Structure formats: C-alpha cells, structure tokens
C-alpha cells in the first residue's frame, strides 16, 4: 500500500519533476484540446463534458470515501439536488447560468450539511446504509412532489442559458460549454489538492486510518467527518448542477441509488487512494456505458459485471494497480 | 383508518421479512446484501413459473429453496473471497450482482409486470363488513408469524442457531472454539435468502410481479433495520411493522408523502436514539 | 500535591468486580509501574484513568480536580495521554506523516484547509523535534505499517508527546519486543521521565524492566491493591512473593 498523502512538506527537499507531474501535464493538455481531437476520432464533445462532470462528482465523493474513510452510498442525492436546484432556479428565479450553478451547488451542499450530523457518528456499513436511505428520501421527494419537480418525468422547461459577460451574450455550444465544465473541474481539482496537502486533509486521512487514535488525541472525529461530508456534497452538487445544464433536464434518476453506486464504482475502478483515480474511473465508466448502451439492451448486466469484476480482481483500482507494480 | 392501518401492516410485514433476512446477513456475514431485492423477485418469479405444476402451496416451499441454491452459490464463489476485507467491496459486489440479476430476470420473464394468480378461495374477502380482510392477507400474516417464530426458535434452541448468535457477538472466539465459520456464514446467508424468497412470493400475491419488485421493498427494509436498531433481529421486525403502518396511514391521509414519511421517521429516530429503537452499543463499528 | 490520586476506586461490570477499593497517589515527576498477575485489573485501571469508562465507586483526582466524569477529550486537554496495549498508529502513513498529523491536531489546525508558511515551519520544527527525541528521525519516510512492532510503539509515543503530556500512561510498552527494541524503549521511557520531567504510569510484565527503571511500584492482584513501594521494598514483600509464587521476583531482583 502506498502512502495516501501525496505531498511532502515544504521544509523537506522538494521532489524533482517526476512521472506524476508529467502525467498530470499530459492529462491537462489532452483535456484542453478535447473539442479538437475528440470529434476527429468520432466522439461527441458532450460526452467529454459528461466524463468531467462524473469525474468531478466522484472526486468530491472520494474526498469522503477514499481519504476520510466514509463509505457514502448516497451521493446521488447531492448530485440530484444540484441538478434540481439549478433547473428550478432558471425556471422560477433568474435565467442566469452562474447564479443557477451557485443555487444548485448550495442546495446540494446544504443537504449534505443537514444529513452529515445523522451519519457522522457511524462507521463502515452502518454509515453506508444510512447514507443510502437518505439518498432514497430525496429520490421520493422528487418523484412525488409533482407540482414542483415534474415527478417521474423529471424537470424540463429550462435550457442552457447564454452566459452574459461584459454586456455580451455568449451562446454556449458544446465546445464552449465543455470549457466551462473544464474550468470548474480544474478549480475543483485545485481545491481538493490543496485540502489534501493541508492539516485538514491530513486529519481526514488520519480519521480513515485510525479513529480511535485520533479520538484519544482529543480530536473531535465526528466534526471531521461532518466537514468532509459537507465539502464532498458541495462538490458533487456542483457536478449535478453542471449535468442539468448539459442535458437541460433534471431527472429522478439523478437521485437514484444506482447512480450513487456508479460514483462509488468509478472511485474504486480508478483507484480510491489516488488523486487522479476518480477521473480515470470516470473515463472508463462513461466510455463503457456509452459503448455498451449503444450495442446491447442488456447493458445493465455488463455494468453490473464491471462492478463484480473490479471488486474481485481489481480492488486497488487501476492507479493502485499501476503503483503497486511500480513498487514491487 | 382501520383499513389503512391494516394495509400498512401487510406492507410492513413484507418490509419486516426483508429486513430480517438482510439483518441476519448483515450481522454474521458483515455484508449489506444489495441483491436481496432481486433474490426476492427471483423467489416470486420461480413460484410463478412452478405454480401450474405444483400449485401455490408447493411453490411457497420449493421456490424459496431454489433461490437459496442460487444464494449459496453466490455466497461461496463471490462473497466468501471478500470476508475480512473492507465492507465497501462486498457492498459493491452485491450492488453489481443486483444489476445483473435484475437484467437476467427481465430477460427470462420479460420486463412487463405479471399478475400472480392466487387460489380463488384465498382471493375473496372473508366478510362484507371487513372487505379488506381477504384470505390471502390472513395467509400472509400467518405465514410470516410462522416463519419468524420458526426463525427465532431455530436461533434460540438449535445448535446452528446458537452458533449464529454467538458468531454475531464474537466471531473470533467462536472460530477459535473450532466452529466452522465458513459453513456457519453460508448457512446464515441461506436462511436470509430463504426469507427473501418467501417475502417475494407473498409480495407477488399482493402486489403482482415485476423485475423491480425488490427495489421498492429493499430500501424500506434498510430503513426498518436502522429504525429498529442494527444488530437486533427483533428490532428489524418492529422497524418493518412501524414504517409499514406509518406508510399505510400516510397513504390514506397525505398520499404524496407515503414514501417520504418512512425516511422522516428514520431521521427522527436517528436524532433521538442514534442506535435505533432496540440497537446496542458498539455493534458493527 | 499529588498529580494523580485515586481514592477507593472500584469498577464492576455487571456481577464482575474488576477492580475494588484502589487508592494510590502518583507524585509529579514520578515514574510509576503497575504490576500484577494476569487478570489483576491493570488494564481496567488504565481505562478508568484515561476515561475509557468511569469508575463505579470512588473518585479519581488529577491535579487536585476530580476527573471521574470528564470525557476522554477533556482529559487529553488536561494532559493525560495514553498508549494502547494494541498499538494505535496510522498504519498506511509514514512515520513523518503520523507525527505531523499529531502535531497539527495538537495545534488545533485539523479544520484548516491552508496554513501560512510560518505556521508550517512551526509544525515542521515540532515534528523534527519529536522525531529527534524519540530517535526515529532516520526512519521518517518509512510506512509505519511496514515497520517492526517496536518501531510502531515508538511512533505511538512520538504521537502522544505531541500533546505535551503531564501524565503519560503506557500500557505494556515493551510487550512482544526483542532485546534491542526493549532496550531502546526503556531508554526512551527513562529519558522522557528524567530529561523532560514527564510523569509516567506504566503497566509491564517484564520484571527486569520494572525493577530497573520504576521509582515506585504498585502491585495489584485479583482486582485489589496488594502492595506499593520501591523496588527493594516490593521484592522483599512476602505478600507480593506469594502472589507471584515467589519465583519470578527472586530471580529478577537478585
């Protein structure tokens, strides 16, 4: 098992530019030019936006799951709250994209802040079970509260509104929207990276490693988990808000437990203990889902099979697997 | 009022049966069995297929046993390698399994709901003033009481039941006493799946069959466990009945909230009694 | 005034009386050992003092203040720090990271997503100091989970030191260690006591260590107080000898 903390303190000699930095640079470059190369190989730019949105949601989840050790199986709730919040804001308040994104993110984040205290005292599977159940509560709210949410049919009647900048109205086509998503994804990665190298992140990891030790050092572990839960919900909610913009639609499926499970499997697939793991997992998962749903009706089985196989043969995730080979 | 409460009680019984099996598996196997709902659907569909040959009562016995066979294979080959690992993995595994099994059921039996034919004498109301009291509903209650009673008797008096309970409390000690914990876990998993199978047939008779029948029952079953208290089988039954009745009453007076109400109950319980109604300190943490 | 004082303390678990009528006083700067045959109640005593659970009888005073109903968190703040019989460290982190998170949380930084350069320098300085005191600086980059049991114990003490303990409780600090590791540990205990003036209470099985380093020794037997005194007094005490069947003490104290 490799060290979960990626960074060295500043007082120690800074590591020279290594493989990790080069890989990161390559990933960012590739992401920057997606609207050029992806259509060239037959993909849609919107698909890349979807990858980044899922990667963002999973990165948010992974702060809790992989780094703090909170096995949340209900993160679709915050994704969905973000989506509905954004849609409702555009329909009922102001058709402004930045404000709608903020509204959705706040709605999901506040949801996380409220649910957090009810799960933070729990560990392991009990934690999972309660997060699942709360996730399902939001699902039923969306399905049953017809007049507001559109019920089972989902929330429609809003679209990707143009961005108003310095008096100019900029229509957001797939490529432009992709860059909005990319910019926010980069911001999220920066925030998470900063958290992980700060005392807060160190304490998150220590919570995962040994709650008893931390508690008997006088640290309020519950509060630590709550904060991780809330931050994680905010990030996932931002992803949900962007997803509503991408599809011009908020669906009860955005709140379903299947989606929560997908976020977890994305983290596991890519590597829960790696900064880039959720991103890599999202690339694989979205590509597989996109391909499978186009060639077979039974794509659910294959997605399920991905779950089963990754657990049985790939528990460290792709990045953990590569690192493990590198070490031995 | 009485009618709604009784409706809720019947639904609560399904929740309780599901929660009981889930709770058993959660306790000794340390696994949240996400596929429990699909095992339940499997039980229902098997009974549906077998009914023309062996009748309703035959199916009620044979179909759950067939589901158990599938369950034991799953336990042996998929879940056993994960014991002692992070609970996240077994959770993901049963999650994926649920997706696969649901797809398989859809492929075999079709994705459209099927009516589940009950014997005529079970389907008619017993009296006109108590029109909701069909024979089948009484059968549901009777069978559930019987099965639950049998389960508690097995756990209390039989050798394997005593070992399951002991293993729940302290798996290490019991394995050091020379008990084969792999066998014990398999048996326990089997019992849990049997309960799911029975629940599936009873629910099919009441609600009709569809591949997603388990989905609508597994989540309330989780809530039942949380409300009743993790680690307490009695709690799971109690939790199931409470949320069933609450949901039934809400359906009559404020139908929009009939699902949400059980989660509200859960939240209230978690705030007032974080361990659940009958939960014990320190289990599963 | 005594730093730690137990007055007629007892603890029962249902019908089982694990500890009964224990009174003892530990003076500031003292290095006190608690010994006794298996089941004597040593770990129960530790759990009572560190607030794992409260006593059912009597009261415990720290610095003259009753701490019987004080939470473990508060005890840490007052300066009572413990280690565990089963070493409690952060296994998949490096030695450096273990001590760093201890120092950062000691400084109350656990919810700070960023810190100034000056604060970071202060953290690093403190971490280096602790690594130095515990003489494990040369292994700073090793993953703790891959280290020997003895080294893990040292890391645990390094973590505990981040809290500036006034009373350090060590539960069998040398259990399961080889000769060299034991030597390193006893040396560390003695240095922390003499150089840093940390008051210590430790449970130990190895009589050579107990008689070698402890200022005073408390003997428990079967949940009750048996004797207390210096190494010479204890080894001469006939009640202690009979509790240990005479043999162990004569051999080691000779």
**Higher local confidence (pLDDT), B187 or A4:** B187
The alpha carbon of residue B111 is apart from the nearest alpha carbon of chain A, in Å, by: 12
Whether chain C has a CB inside 8 Å of the CB on A194: the answer is yes
pLDDT at C12 over 50: yes
The alpha carbon of residue C145 is apart from the nearest alpha carbon of chain A, in Å, by: 9
Residue A317: closest CA among chain B residues belongs to which residue?
A: B89
Residue ranges of A 100-159 with Cβ closer than 8 A to chain C:
none
Residue with tokens 């150089």: C195
Q: What average pLDDT does range B71-95 have in this prediction? A: 85
Residue ranges of C 166-225 with Cβ closer than 8 A to chain A:
none
Q: Which pair of tokens denotes residue A259? A: 């989606």
* Per-residue confidence band for B124, with pLDDT thresholds at 50, 70 and 90: low
Q: Could you give the CA distance from residue C186 to residue C100 in angstroms, rounded to a whole number?
A: 24
Comparing CB atoms, the residue among C89, C100, C110 nearest residue A219 is C110
pLDDT at C40 over 60: yes
Residue B272: closest CA among chain A residues belongs to which residue?
A: A118
End-to-end CA distance of chain C: 34
The alpha carbon of residue A186 is apart from the nearest alpha carbon of chain C, in Å, by: 18
B166-216, pLDDT tens digit by residue? Answer: 777 667 677 767 777 788 888 889 999 999 999 888 888 887 888 888 888
Residue ranges of A 152-181 with Cβ closer than 8 A to chain B:
none
Whether chain C has a CB inside 8 Å of the CB on A293: the answer is no
Whether C89 and A213 lie within 8 Å, measured CB to CB: yes
Comparing CB atoms, the residue among A12, A201, A217 nearest residue C105 is A217
Whether chain A has a CB inside 8 Å of the CB on B135: the answer is no
Residue ranges of A 178-207 with Cβ closer than 8 A to chain B:
none
Whether chain B has a CB inside 8 Å of the CB on A4: the answer is no
Residue with tokens 């709902």: B37
Interface test with B, best of A311, A313, A315, A320 (most B CBs within 10 A): A311
Q: What average pLDDT does range B65-75 have in this prediction? A: 89
Please determine, for the modelled complex, whether the ipTM score is greater than 0.85.
no
The alpha carbon of residue A267 is apart from the nearest alpha carbon of chain C, in Å, by: 19
**Higher local confidence (pLDDT), C180 or B3:** C180
Mean pLDDT of chain B, nearest integer: 82
Q: Are A246 and A22 in contact (CB under 8 A)?
A: no
Query: Which chain A residues touch B98 with a CB distance below 8 Å?
Result: 304
Comparing CB atoms, the residue among A4, A200, A218 nearest residue C77 is A218
Residue ranges of B 215-244 with Cβ closer than 8 A to chain A:
219, 222-223, 225-226, 230
Query: Above pLDDT 90, what percent of chain C?
Result: 40
Q: Could you give the CA distance from residue B90 to residue A306 in angstroms, rounded to a whole number?
A: 14
The alpha carbon of residue B8 is apart from the nearest alpha carbon of chain A, in Å, by: 18
Q: What average pLDDT does range B227-239 have in this prediction? A: 85
Whether B88 and A136 lie within 8 Å, measured CB to CB: no
Query: Above pLDDT 70, what percent of chain A?
Result: 92
Residue A310: closest CA among chain B residues belongs to which residue?
A: B93
* Per-residue confidence band for A325, with pLDDT thresholds at 50, 70 and 90: low
Q: Are C163 and C187 in contact (CB under 8 A)?
A: no
pLDDT at A316 over 80: no
Give the 3-state DSSP-derived string for chain C, with helices as H, strands as E and coil as C: CCCEEEEEEEEEECCEEEEEEEEEEECCCCEEEEECCCCCCHHHHHHHHCCCCCCCEEEEEECCEECCCCCHHHHHHHCEEECCCCCCCCCCCEHHHHHHHHHHHHCCCCCCCCCCHHHHHHHHHHHHHHHHHCCCHHHCCCEHHHCCHHHHHHHHHHHHHCCCCCEEEEECCCCCCCHHHHHHHHHHHHHHHHHHCCEEEEECCCHHHHHHHCCEEEEEECCEEEEEECHHHHHHCHHHHHHCCCHHHHHHHC
Residue A192: closest CA among chain C residues belongs to which residue?
A: C113
The pLDDT of residue B128 is: 60
pLDDT at A152 over 80: no
Whether A268 and B93 lie within 8 Å, measured CB to CB: no
A12-71, pLDDT tens digit by residue? Answer: 444 556 777 888 888 898 888 888 888 888 778 888 999 999 999 999 999 999 999 998
Chains that touch C (3 or more CB pairs under 8 A): A
pLDDT at C51 over 80: yes
Comparing CB atoms, the residue among B89, B90, B274 nearest residue A121 is B274
**Cβ contacts from A onto B, under 8 A:** 127
Give the 3-state DSSP-derived string for C113-126, with helices as H, strands as E and coil as C: CCCCHHHHHHHHHH
Query: Which chain A residues touch C115 with a CB distance below 8 Å?
Result: 198-199
Query: Which chain A residues touch C145 with a CB distance below 8 Å?
Result: 1
A175-224, pLDDT tens digit by residue? Answer: 888 999 999 999 999 999 999 999 999 999 999 999 888 888 889 899 99
pLDDT at A3 over 70: no
Residue ranges of A 224-263 with Cβ closer than 8 A to chain C:
224, 227
C134-177, pLDDT tens digit by residue? Answer: 999 999 999 999 998 889 999 999 999 998 899 999 988 888 88
Q: Are C98 and C154 in contact (CB under 8 A)?
A: no
Mean pLDDT of chain C, nearest integer: 87
Chains that touch B (3 or more CB pairs under 8 A): A
Comparing CB atoms, the residue among B92, B100, B259 nearest residue A311 is B92
Q: Are B132 and B141 in contact (CB under 8 A)?
A: no
Q: Which pair of tokens denotes residue A93? A: 């308040």
* Per-residue confidence band for B132, with pLDDT thresholds at 50, 70 and 90: low
Out of A69-83, A125-139, A209-223, give the one with best mean pLDDT: A69-83
A222-267, pLDDT tens digit by residue? Answer: 999 999 999 999 999 999 999 999 888 888 888 888 899 899 989 9
C60-95, pLDDT tens digit by residue? Answer: 999 888 888 788 788 888 899 988 878 889 999 999
Q: Which pair of tokens denotes residue A307? A: 């779950």
Whether A199 and C163 lie within 8 Å, measured CB to CB: no
Whether chain C has a CB inside 8 Å of the CB on A15: the answer is no
Q: What average pLDDT does range C89-116 have in this prediction? A: 92
Interface test with A, best of C53, C85, C101 (most A CBs within 10 A): C101
pLDDT at A120 over 60: yes
Query: Above pLDDT 70, what percent of chain B?
Result: 90
**Cβ contacts from A onto C, under 8 A:** 111
pLDDT at A11 over 70: no
């Amino acid at each position: 098992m490799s060290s979960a903390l990626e960074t060295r303190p500043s007082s120690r000699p800074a590591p020279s530019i290594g493989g990790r930095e080069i890989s990161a640079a390559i990933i960012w470059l590739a992401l920057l030019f997606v609207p050029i190369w992806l259509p060239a190989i037959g993909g849609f730019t919107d698909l890349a936006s979807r990858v980044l949105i899922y990667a963002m949601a999973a990165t948010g989840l992974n702060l809790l799951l992989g780094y703090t050790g909170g096995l949340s199986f209900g993160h679709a709730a915050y994704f969905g709250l973000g989506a509905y919040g954004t849609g409702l804001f555009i329909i009922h308040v102001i058709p402004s994209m930045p404000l709608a994104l903020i509204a959705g993110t706040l709605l999901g984040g506040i949801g996380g802040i409220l649910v957090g205290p009810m799960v933070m005292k729990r560990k392991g599977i009990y934690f999972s079970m309660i997060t699942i159940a709360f996730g399902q509560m939001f699902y039923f709210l969306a399905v049953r509260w017809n007049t507001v949410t559109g019920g089972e049919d989902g929330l429609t009647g809003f679209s990707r509104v143009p961005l108003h900048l310095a008096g100019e109205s900029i229509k957001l086509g797939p490529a432009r929207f992709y860059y909005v998503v990319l910019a926010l994804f980069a911001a999220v990665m920066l925030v998470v990276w900063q958290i992980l190298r700060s005392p807060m992140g160190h304490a998150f990891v220590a919570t995962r490693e040994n709650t008893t030790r931390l508690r008997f050092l006088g640290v309020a572990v519950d509060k630590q988990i709550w904060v991780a839960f809330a931050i994680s919900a905010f990030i996932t909610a931002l992803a949900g808000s962007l997803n509503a913009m991408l599809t011009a639609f908020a669906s009860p499926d955005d709140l379903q437990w299947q989606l929560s499970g997908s976020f977890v499997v994305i983290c596991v697939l890519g590597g829960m203990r790696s900064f880039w793991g959720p991103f890599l997992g999202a690339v694989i998962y979205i590509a597989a889902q996109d391909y499978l749903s186009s060639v077979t009706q039974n794509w659910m089985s294959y997605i399920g099979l991905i779950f089963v196989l990754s657990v049985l043969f790939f528990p460290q995730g792709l990045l953990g697997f590569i690192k493990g080979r590198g070490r031995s | 009022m009485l009618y709604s409460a009784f409706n809720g009680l019947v639904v609560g019984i399904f929740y309780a049966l599901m929660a009981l099996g889930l709770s058993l598996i959660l306790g000794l196997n340390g696994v949240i069995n996400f596929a429990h709902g699909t095992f339940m659907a499997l039980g229902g569909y098997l009974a549906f297929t077998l009914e023309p040959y062996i009748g309703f009562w035959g199916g009620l016995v044979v179909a759950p046993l067939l589901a158990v066979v599938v369950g034991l294979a799953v336990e042996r080959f998929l879940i056993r390698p994960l014991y002692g690992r992070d609970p996240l993995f077994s959770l993901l595994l049963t999650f994926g399994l649920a997706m696969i099994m649901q797809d398989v059921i859809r492929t075999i039996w079709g994705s459209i709901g099927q009516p589940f034919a009950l014997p005529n004498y079970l389907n008619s109301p017993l009296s006109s003033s108590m029109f909701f009291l069909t024979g089948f509903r009484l059968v549901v209650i009777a069978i559930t009481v019987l099965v639950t009673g049998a389960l508690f008797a097995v756990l209390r008096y039989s050798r394997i039941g005593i070992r399951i309970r002991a293993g729940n409390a302290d798996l290490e000690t019991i394995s050091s006493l020379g008990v084969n914990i792999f066998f014990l876990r398999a048996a326990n998993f089997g019992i849990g799946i049997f309960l799911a199978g029975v629940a599936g047939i009873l629910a099919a008779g009441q609600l009709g069959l569809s591949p997603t029948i388990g989905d609508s029952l597994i989540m309330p079953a989780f809530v039942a466990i949380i409300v009743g208290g993790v680690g307490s089988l009695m709690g799971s039954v109690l939790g199931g009945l409470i949320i069933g009745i609450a949901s039934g009453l809400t359906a009559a007076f404020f139908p929009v909230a009939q699902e949400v109400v059980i989660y509200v109950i859960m939240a209230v319980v978690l705030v007032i009694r974080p361990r659940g109604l009958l939960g014990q300190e320190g289990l599963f943490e | 005034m005594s730093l730690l004082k137990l007055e007629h303390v007892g603890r029962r678990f249902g019908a089982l009386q694990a500890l009964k009528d224990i009174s003892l006083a530990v003076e500031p700067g003292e290095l006190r050992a608690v010994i006794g045959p298996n089941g004597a109640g040593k770990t129960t005593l530790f759990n009572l003092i560190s607030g794992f659970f409260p006593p059912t009888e009597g009261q415990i005073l720290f610095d003259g203040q009753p701490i019987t109903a004080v939470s473990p968190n508060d005890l840490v703040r007052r300066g009572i720090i413990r280690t565990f019989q089963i070493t409690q460290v952060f296994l998949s982190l490096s030695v450096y990271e273990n001590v760093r998170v201890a120092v950062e949380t000691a400084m109350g930084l656990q919810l700070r997503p960023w810190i100034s350069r000056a604060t970071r320098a202060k953290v690093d300085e403190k971490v280096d100091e602790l690594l130095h005191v515990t003489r494990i600086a040369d292994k700073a980059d090793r993953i703790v989970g891959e280290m020997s049991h003895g080294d893990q114990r040292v890391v645990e003490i390094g973590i505990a030191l981040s809290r500036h303990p006034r009373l350090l409780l060590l539960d069998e600090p040398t259990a399961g260690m080889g000769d060299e590791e034991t030597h390193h540990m006893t040396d560390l205990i003695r240095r922390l006591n003499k150089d840093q003036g940390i008051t210590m209470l430790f449970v130990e099985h190895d009589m050579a260590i107990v008689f070698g380093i402890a200022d005073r020794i408390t003997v428990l037997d079967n949940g009750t107080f048996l004797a207390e005194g210096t190494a010479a007094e204890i080894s001469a005490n006939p009640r202690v000898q009979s509790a240990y069947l005479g043999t162990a003490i004569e051999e080691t104290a000779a």
